[in-house]
Structure 1
Amino acid sequence: MDQIQTGKFIAELRKEKSLTQAQLGELVGVTNKTVSRWENGNYMPDLAVLQSLCAALDVSINEMISGRRLDEADFRRQADNNLLLSLDQAQRMRREYKLIDFFTGAGTGLLVGALIAPDSTRRSVVIAVSLIMIAIGQVTQWRFGKQLMGLLDKAR
């Protein structure tokens, strides 16, 4: 998905319909500044308004995501490509979420086990390792949340 290309496509379609940014924004429930941000390639339309935007501009969602009009063959090929990209991104996010669960869960389990064990050097090492695992899990979770927020911002 190319934000710049999609933005230019939105501007082109809006002008074909002889609409101002404010008029298009009113049709889909956003401000003219939001439409401007889309057209400049700063943001992508939010999923909540994508369907109404496509309806207002008489294009398919697949064409909007592709940033151009598609003939029948291109439409099918691009639909497959968009689906594969979405599935790949979802798979990467699931793997990262499992990694977060592993580090925080295993780290917490080790910590609880070590805290009830008798004092020893081994106990201190296990506590240190478990705290490091929990920290890795938390940092990964923070990055995961940041990545999700970035995706949401791009969608807007």
Structure 2
Amino acid sequence: MYKENFGQTIATLRKEKNMTQLQLADQMNVTDKAVSKWERELSYPDINTVPKLAEVLEVGVEELIQIEGNDYKEENIEEESGIRKDFNTAISIIFKAIPLAMGIAVIVLSILEGLSISSGFIMLGIGMFFLALDKPREKKD
């Protein structure tokens, strides 16, 4: 079933009552431009005026504000799940790449004799830290 957004709902209900935007605006004490913006979803009515809007359109507030986000669709959940998996994969790759880069840097700098022992241990420690961070993530997946 197709569900209208808030602006479309206002426009549909207004047209069912054979009202113009100006007539609705007069009853709501706003301008016709405000009603036009509501219907195009460029702005929304003040929350305090929604009950009056529902009364003018002769519907319940619940019917008027049938919020499309309320029905959290299965596809949105699947999409978020896919995004979360992609993010977790990217983080896991980063957490594995940092130790690899640190290890390679220690080896290369040791060969070139440009690395002190303490700096080497610090770099390897940083690498081990990121490996340790990634371990719990692997168990979750």
TM range (shorter): 0.3 to 0.5
Q: Which gives a bigger RCO, structure 1 or 2 (Cα 8 Å, sep 6+)?
A: 1
TM-score (norm 2): 0.43
Higher helix share: 1
TM-score (norm 1): 0.39
Kindly name which structure, 1 or 2, has the bigger radius of gyration based on alpha carbons: 2
